[in-house]
Amino acid sequence: MVEKFSNVISARDFGFLELLKLFQTAKEIKEIYKNEATRPALQYVLQKKGQSLFFRIITAPSTRTITSFEDAIRVLGGFSQTSPLEFTSWVKGETLRSLARCIGTLPDCIIIRHDKDDDAAQKFASVATDYDLRFITINAGSGKKEHPTQMIVDLFTIWERDQTKFVNGDLTYALIGDLSHSRTIHSLLLGLSHFGGTVFLVGPPEENIPPWLAQELSGTNLRIQKVINQLDIISECDYLYYTRLQENLRHKKISKEQKHLYWSLYGVTDESRGLMLRNACALNPLPADEGYPENIDLIDPRFIHYAQAENGFFTRMALLKLIFAPALDLRHAASEMGMVSVSGKLEQPFTIPIRSINAVCAGEKCQSVRLENHNWITLDPAIDEKLKKPKTICPSCLPHA
C-alpha cells in the first residue's frame, strides 16, 4: 500500500512503492503536458472548489528547484509567491519557527530552501503541527544534509532510461565530488538504497559521506565503495553523477589552487570522457562549476543534465499532484480534453470537445450522447468505449418512443 503523500522533509519520506508511484505519475504528466491537446487537463490539479491552492516559497539562492516548483504550480492551476530568505526577518535574527508561525496562516503549502540550517524544513513542519496550521511543508534543500525533491528528479531520470536494470539494482553509479557537503548526493544515496546497485563514492581522501548516512546505508542493497581516482572506475559505470564544490555550504574558504586541483581530479576531462562507456550517462544536479565544462552536452550526448533539469518540472508536478489531488484520475481528465466527431441529423459531421458530453445512451447500439445543454446528438461513427460518462436512456430509446 502506498502511504499518503504529505510533508516532504527527507528522502526517507519515500519508500520503494512511493517512488515508483511518483515515477509513473511523472511519466503520465510528462506525456499529458507534451501533448498540447491534453495539457489543459493539468490546470485543475491544484484547485479546490474553483479556488487555486496557495504556495508560499521561501528560498535561498536557487534556479532550477524554485523555478520548476513555480512553473509546476502555475501549470497545475495553483498560485505561488516566492520570497528570498534574505528578504525575510530571518536576517535580523528571527528564528525559523517564528517565521513559519507568522507566514503559516494562509498558505496550503510552504516550500522552504535553506542553505545554513539542516533542519529548516523539519522546523516548519513542527510549527504546523504545534499550532494546528494546515500547511504542508516541502523541503527544497536543507543545509548540507538533504534535498529530497532533487532525489526524485535524479532517480526519475535514471528510471526513465533504464527502468528494468534500475529497479532490479543492476546499475553501477559513480557519485563524484563533494561527498561531505553535497546534499544531493546524500539524498540520492537514500533513494538508491531502495533499489540497490553498485555505488562508487569518488572524492578526495579526506572527504566522505557523513557518518549518519553511512550508518543508514549499511545493511541496504547498495554495494558501496570509496574511490579516490575516478579514472579507476569510470569504465565500469552506467551513471556518473558529478557535483560542484559546495562552497556555499562549507565553513572554510577554498583557495584557487585547491579548486583547480579539485576540478582536475573530480571534474570532466578528455581522459575521463574517453573512459566512459558508450551507453553511459553523466548527470549533474547543477549548477556546475569550472570542472564541468559548459556546453559539454553539445559535443557529447551522454551528458544529459539538461534533460535531468527538465525532469525537475515533471517530477515536482507529480509530487504536488500526489499530495494535493491523490484521487484525481489524470488519464481520464486528459481524455476529456479530446474531441469526438458527431453527425446526428446534420449533413456534415463536426467535432465537439469530449468534456461537453455529460451522458451517453445506454440503449443497445444507440450512439446518442447528451450535451451540457441537454440536447441529444449522435456520435460518428460509434460511441467511443473510452467515453467514461454516466449512462442514461435517450428520448428515442425510451419504451414509449
Q: Is 184 near ligand NCD (CB under 6 A)?
A: yes
Count of CB atoms situated within 10 Å of the CB of 347? 5
Q: Is 194 near ligand NCD (CB under 6 A)?
A: no
Q: Is 180 near ligand NCD (CB under 6 A)?
A: no
The least distance separating ligand NCD from the CB of residue 248, rounded to whole angstroms, comes to 7
C-alpha cell at 136: 504542508
The least distance separating ligand NCD from the CB of residue 122, rounded to whole angstroms, comes to 17
Binder to ligand NCD among 7, 25, 65, 308 (CB under 6 A)? Answer: 65
Q: Which is nearer to ligand NCD, 10 or 246 (CB)?
A: 246
Closest by CA to 261, choosing from 177, 200, 182, 184, is: 177
Q: Is 68 near ligand NCD (CB under 6 A)?
A: no
Q: Which is nearer to ligand NCD, 151 or 276 (CB)?
A: 151
Q: Are strands 281-283 and 339-342 parallel, antiparallel or unpaired?
A: unpaired
Site track for ligand NCD across 231-270, x = CB under 6 A: ------------xx-x------------------------
Chain-centroid distance of CA 383 in Å reads 37
Q: Is 308 near ligand NCD (CB under 6 A)?
A: no
Q: Which is nearer to ligand NCD, 246 or 378 (CB)?
A: 246
Q: Is 315 near ligand NCD (CB under 6 A)?
A: no
Chain-centroid distance of CA 337 in Å reads 24
Whole-number Å distance between alpha carbons of 268 and 288? 11
What is the 8-class DSSP label of residue 230?
Answer: G
Axis-axis angle for helices 16-34, 305-324 (nearest 10): 110
C-alpha cell at 364: 443497445
> CA distances (Å), 370 to each of 111, 351, 366, 380, in order?
44, 14, 12, 14
Neighbour-count burial of 277, counting CB atoms closer than 10 A to its CB (0-12 exposed, 13-18 middle, 19+ buried)? middle
Binder to ligand NCD among 104, 285, 336, 337 (CB under 6 A)? Answer: 285
Q: Which is nearer to ligand NCD, 141 or 291 (CB)?
A: 141
CA angle (145, 149, 152) in 5-degree steps = 115
Q: Is 230 near ligand NCD (CB under 6 A)?
A: no
Q: Which is nearer to ligand NCD, 122 or 150 (CB)?
A: 150
Site track for ligand NCD across 132-171, x = CB under 6 A: ---------x-----x--x---------------------
Q: Which is nearer to ligand NCD, 174 or 334 (CB)?
A: 174
Q: Which is nearer to ligand NCD, 244 or 370 (CB)?
A: 244
CA dihedral sign of residues 85, 87, 93, 99:
negative
Whether 199 and 217 have beta carbons less than 8 Å apart is answered as no
Residues that bind ligand NCD (CB under 6 A): 64-65, 141, 147, 150, 183-184, 243-244, 246, 285-287
